[in-house]
Each structure stands twice: as structure tokens, then as C-alpha cells.
Structure 1
Amino acid sequence: MKATRYNKLECARLLAEKERNITITREYCGFPPGATALDIAKQWGYNDIVSLLQ
């Protein structure tokens, strides 16, 4: 999640396979429980990470 939140594409790429479907369990940076890294990337406009996670 933090790799996505801070637009760290290479870190997100390394974590994507294992963390693709993980959701947050409590509010994080204004995102509600259940949000995914993809949700975060979409909200912040990180299109490279959105493409990676879709």
C-alpha cells in the first residue's frame, strides 16, 4: 500500500504478485477499510501503477 501511495513503481511491481488482492483493514490516508492498492493508485492518478495492478 505504501509503495502505491507514494508512487514507487518499482516497489509496487515487486510487491504486486503477493499483495495484489490485499485490502486495508482500517482507514489509511482517507481510504476506508477494504480499499486496495489499485483504489489508492486510481485516486492519486498514478496511471503506471494502475496499469500494473489491473
Structure 2
Amino acid sequence: MDEAFLNLEEVDVELDEALLDAVDEKAFADHRDNRDAAIRDLLDEWLKQRDGD
């Protein structure tokens, strides 16, 4: 198991109501209602878009 993630710092973010609704929709549609998985997926998409700019 890759333990590189253990050295990461914790990050807190505030999400507005619209974004929480979008996360919940993605969680329900793509991740069997798993909000954590949906957030990881959306963060991955955002990072890839950011790297492409």
C-alpha cells in the first residue's frame, strides 16, 4: 500500500448549498450515495482541469 498520503496536511473547505446539492447528486448517481467518493471524484476532475490550463 502506498503510504505517501499519510504525509498530507488536512484541509477544510466550506461548500455552499448549490455545490452540496451537486455533490449529493453525483454521489447518488455515480457512487451509490457515497458523498466522500463523490467529493474525491470532483476534486480529481478539478485538479485535472487546473493542470490543463
Q: Which band: TM-score by shorter chain?
A: under 0.3
TM-score, with structure 2 as normaliser: 0.26
Rg larger for: 2
